[in-house]
Structure 1
Amino acid sequence: MDDQICVGAIAGAFGVHGEVRLKSFTADPLAIAEYAPLSGDNGTSYDLEISREIKQGFSARLTGVRTKEQADALKGVRLYAPRDRLPSLPDDEYYHADLIGLSVFDTGGVELGQVRAVLNHGASDLLEVIRPGESRTVLLPFTMACVPTVDLASGRLVADPPEGLLD
């Protein structure tokens, strides 16, 4: 799914008439509807109509979903849009999908690991980096100070981690 970007996820049913709770991962959360039809990781394509804003997302109607049971069955389904339908990003912004899998090197060229995930718990993005030959991961702040260089073409980024982070 390299040509697909995850733009949202279904968090379960909302109400009893087939609406779903929708989490949007787009910069403008309402823009998710503009990228429809969306492909679910369950192999189904959905048109969607946002009904209203609710706590932690939106309630939405999806094509083919008419009952609470059908909506409940979709809990956890991730929704993808083709990359070519999404806006181009400025030079200093990246889709999370493009960062996952990149090799991480320090400013001296020593490999620190590989990006396993991009997390955001409200303040800013964190790169979950798995260390080479280890099972532990390190959370690296994804800021210009900590990650001055991202080179998607070569599949790597350069990090200048805070002192003590990798000890």
Structure 2
Amino acid sequence: MADSAPTNPVLLATIGGAHGIRGEVRVRSFTEDPEEIGAYGPLFDGKGRRFTVKSARAQKNVVVVRFAEVGDRNAAEALNGTELFVDRSVLPAEGEDEFYLSDLVGLVARTTGGAVIGEIVAFHDFGAGDILEIAPEGGASTMIPFTKEAVPEIDLDLGFILVEPVAAGLEGAVEVREGDGEGEDA
């Protein structure tokens, strides 16, 4: 298992607020089994600081975690919003037709009609499911739901996803962008 800051980081969790007075924190885990957040070795924040899971227990929709490096409530409160990563090499290999959400970053998003929407720049989960953030060239980014209806096809080998504009809530917005490029060389 990796014991230093990841060179190929994958987001595994986000720290929320402090829990109690002994330095525990509420964590939103993105692992298949949220309580197994420590199964991949130490976690690292974006600055390279190491966090070792001493204990983790499920509580409602979060995991309450005690990190070896966090000793009191003040230190725990300072971590609110911190994203935690592991190196891709410590994660299990994907199965057939499986992928990590981070694999989607950098893929081209295009409509089922063939128009390019932009590039996937991030994924988010604000509590109602996964959201893909797509940035068109020279424009404001767009967020779409990451559902089978909105994204009916993903091709990691060819580097693109197909987006169904109606299901993704982009019907009018995509048509405007498609029209913007008419008459220009591709």
One-letter code aligned to 2:154: V
**Aligned partners of 1:18 and 1:122: how far apart in 2?**
25
Deviations 1:131-163 (A, max 9, x none): 4443251414431x4434323244322333327
Task: Give SS of 2:93's match.
Answer: coil
Aligned to 1:100: 105
**Aligned partners of 2:147 and 2:121: how far apart in 1?**
13
Q: Percent identity?
A: 34
**Aligned partners of 2:11 and 2:125: how far apart in 1?**
15
Question: Taking structure 1 as reference, are residues 53 and 162 closer, same or farther at Cα in structure 2, changes over 3 Å only?
Answer: same
TM-score by length of 1: 0.83
Q: Judge conservation of contact 1:128–1:140 (CA < 8 Å) in 2.
A: no
Task: Please report how far the alpha carbon of residue 48 of structure 1 lies from its aligned counterpart in structure 2 after TM superposition.
Answer: 0.3
Larger radius of gyration: 2
Does 1:33 pair with 2:22?
A: no
Q: Pick one of 128, 131, 139 that aligns with 2:144.
A: 139
Structure 1 vs Structure 2 CA RMSD: 2.4
**Aligned partners of 2:111 and 2:124: how far apart in 1?**
21
**Aligned partners of 1:116 and 1:24: how far apart in 2?**
21
Does 1:9 pair with 2:45?
A: no
Q: Which runs of 5+ in 1 are unaligned?
A: none
Q: In proportion to residue count, which structure has more strand?
A: 1
Aligned to 2:88: 83
Superposed, which structure 2 residues align to 1:42-53 within 5 Å? 42-53=47-58
Aligned to 2:183: none
Deviations 1:56-83 (A, max 9, x none): 3122111221111111111111111111
Q: Pick one of 57, 60, 65 that aligns with 1:55.
A: 60
Q: Judge conservation of contact 1:19–1:71 (CA < 8 Å) in 2.
A: yes
**Aligned partners of 2:43 and 2:34: how far apart in 1?**
15
Question: Taking structure 1 as reference, are residues 21 and 71 closer, same or farther at Cα in structure 2, changes over 3 Å only?
Answer: same
One-letter code aligned to 2:160: R
One-letter code aligned to 1:129: I
Does 1:162 pair with 2:166?
A: yes
Query: Comparing 107-116 with 118-127, which one deviates more in the overlay?
Result: 118-127
One-letter code aligned to 1:59: V
**Aligned partners of 1:146 and 1:10: how far apart in 2?**
29
Task: Please report how far the alpha carbon of residue 51 of structure 1 lies from its aligned counterpart in structure 2 after TM superposition.
Answer: 4.1
Q: Which runs of 5+ in 2 are unaligned?
A: 1-5, 173-186
